[in-house]
């Protein structure tokens, strides 16, 4: 078991949500539209030597009034979105994240979705899949934009990694930041994106697929990977080399120390229980008192629940994501990827 050496909550990890996101969420009632608003502002988790998520300007949503009007319009398209989402026949968070970006790139003023989940096949064998192909469209502000000749290949991931004070590599190694399921890590995911997913987008079979789709033009690649990095409660770890300094950060603790964590929170702290796939934007409902959360946690772990994802809210309105995991966690450590990744710093 990995236990923090200093059992004191770092309240400085609680942050006030950025005003652009807070303003955009005002008036939005559909959870998927709120999640989409969160994605428009969420920083990429890692810096991997290529473009990250499309900027608001690239999407044509950099003006606040235009963005808020666009988000309000999406609220009226709930039935259309739900039909698109049901086509995937999956409740997995990663699939939901893909569907949201497909919708964004199809509906945003300055982009058009060319294709998604493009299977790469050769001689009857499936070699892989490209997540997204999209292209910019000239906007009303600059109708002769040179970018219209570009085609973008984007690979998507949304990740929530818990940091270990001890583990593979040195204290800055991404292999020490692992998923709740203990089979993935920041190092593994970044290695796969760099060594497999992006290169296959440059392969001859991918080029033939782009031509077949009419997606000719200069190819640019990007990785869209928001998420959160969780420090063990009471111990602020150094961020891994691969991480962006702006990556969202939270806390994690074992179930047995959750009561001790609660005792260190200011009176009046409340929280939300985050339910998949809506782990992105803060819920619209008012947060519950900590006593109610504690009762729900007790029932959850008595029923053999493995983890719980919470969003705690201080009386000052500062927030922090918290993962509560079983005392036996982690049951195993994922092996680091082969070779060394280039440092992003």
The confidence band for 5, taking pLDDT boundaries of 50, 70 and 90, is very low
Give me the count of residues in the chain. Answer: 345
Report the pLDDT averaged over residues 160-172.
94
How many other C-beta atoms are found inside a 10 Å radius of the C-beta of residue 149? 11
What's residue 88's pLDDT?
Answer: 82
**Among 66-75, 293-302, 318-327, 332-341, the least confident range:** 332-341
Cα–Cα distance list, 335 to 170, 174, 342 (Å): 14, 11, 18
Tokens of 237: 């770890």
Nearest to 172 by CA among 237, 128, 89, 119: 237
* Pairwise CA distance, residues 248 & 226, whole Å: 8
* Pairwise CA distance, residues 54 & 150, whole Å: 13
Helix axes 93-107, 64-75, angle to 10 degrees: 120
* Pairwise CA distance, residues 9 & 37, whole Å: 30
The confidence band for 341, taking pLDDT boundaries of 50, 70 and 90, is very low
What's residue 234's pLDDT?
Answer: 84
Q: Are 98 and 154 in contact (CB under 8 A)?
A: no
How many other C-beta atoms are found inside a 10 Å radius of the C-beta of residue 66? 13
How many other C-beta atoms are found inside a 10 Å radius of the C-beta of residue 19? 8
Which is higher by pLDDT, 55 or 341? 55
What's residue 339's pLDDT?
Answer: 62
Domain boundaries, the chain: 16-325
Position 335 pLDDT exceeds 70: yes
What's residue 225's pLDDT?
Answer: 97
Q: What percent of the chain has pLDDT over 90?
A: 76
How many other C-beta atoms are found inside a 10 Å radius of the C-beta of residue 259? 11
Position 227 pLDDT exceeds 90: yes
What's residue 343's pLDDT?
Answer: 42
* Pairwise CA distance, residues 264 & 333, whole Å: 30
What's residue 217's pLDDT?
Answer: 80
Mean pLDDT of the chain: 90
Cα–Cα distance list, 121 to 130, 206, 210 (Å): 11, 9, 13
- Could you report the per-residue pLDDT of 77-116, keeping only the tens digit for each? 999 999 999 988 788 999 999 999 999 999 999 999 999 9
Tokens of 226: 């928001």
What's residue 305's pLDDT?
Answer: 87
Helix, strand, coil % over all residues of the chain, rounded to 5: 35, 25, 40
Instruction: Tell whether the torsion through CA atoms of 32, 34, 35 and 41 is positive or negative.
Output: positive
What's residue 52's pLDDT?
Answer: 95
- Could you report the per-residue pLDDT of 232-282, keeping only the tens digit for each? 998 899 999 999 999 999 999 999 999 999 999 999 999 999 999 999 999
* Pairwise CA distance, residues 98 & 111, whole Å: 16
Position 152 pLDDT exceeds 70: yes
């Amino acid at each position: 078991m990995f236990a923090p050496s200093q059992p004191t909550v770092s309240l400085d990890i609680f942050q006030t949500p950025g005003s652009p996101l807070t303003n955009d969420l005002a008036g939005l009632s559909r959870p998927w539209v709120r999640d989409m608003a969160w994605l428009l502002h969420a920083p990429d988790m890692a810096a991997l030597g290529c473009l990250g998520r499309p900027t608001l300007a690239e999407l044509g949503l950099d003006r606040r009034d235009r963005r808020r009007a666009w988000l309000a319009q999406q609220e009226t398209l709930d039935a259309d979105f739900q039909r698109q989402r049901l086509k995937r026949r999956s409740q997995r968070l990663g699939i939901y994240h893909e569907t949201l970006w497909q919708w964004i790139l199809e509906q945003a003023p300055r982009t058009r979705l060319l294709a998604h989940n493009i299977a790469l096949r050769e001689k009857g064998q499936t070699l892989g899949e490209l997540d997204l192909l999209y292209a910019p469209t000239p906007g009303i502000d600059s109708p002769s934009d040179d970018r219209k000749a570009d085609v973008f290949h984007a690979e998507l991931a949304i990740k929530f990694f818990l940091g270990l004070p001890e583990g593979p590599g040195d204290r800055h190694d991404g292999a020490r930041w692992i998923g709740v399921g203990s089979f993935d890590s920041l190092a593994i995911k970044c290695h796969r994106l760099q060594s497999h997913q992006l290169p296959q987008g440059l392969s001859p079979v991918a080029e033939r697929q782009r031509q077949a789709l009419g997606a000719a033009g200069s190819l640019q690649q990007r990785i869209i990977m928001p998420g959160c990095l969780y420090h063990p409660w009471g111990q602020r770890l150094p961020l891994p080399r691969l991480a962006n300094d702006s990556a969202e950060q939270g806390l994690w603790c074992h179930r047995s120390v959750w009561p001790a964590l609660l005792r260190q929170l200011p009176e009046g702290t409340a929280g939300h229980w985050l339910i998949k796939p809506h782990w992105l934007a803060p819920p619209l409902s008012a947060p519950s008192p900590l006593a109610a959360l504690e009762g729900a946690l007790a029932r959850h772990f008595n029923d053999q629940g493995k983890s719980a994802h919470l969003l705690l809210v201080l009386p000052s309105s500062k927030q922090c994501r918290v993962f509560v995991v079983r005392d036996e966690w982690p049951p195993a450590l994922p092996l680091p990827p082969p070779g060394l990744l280039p440092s992003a710093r």
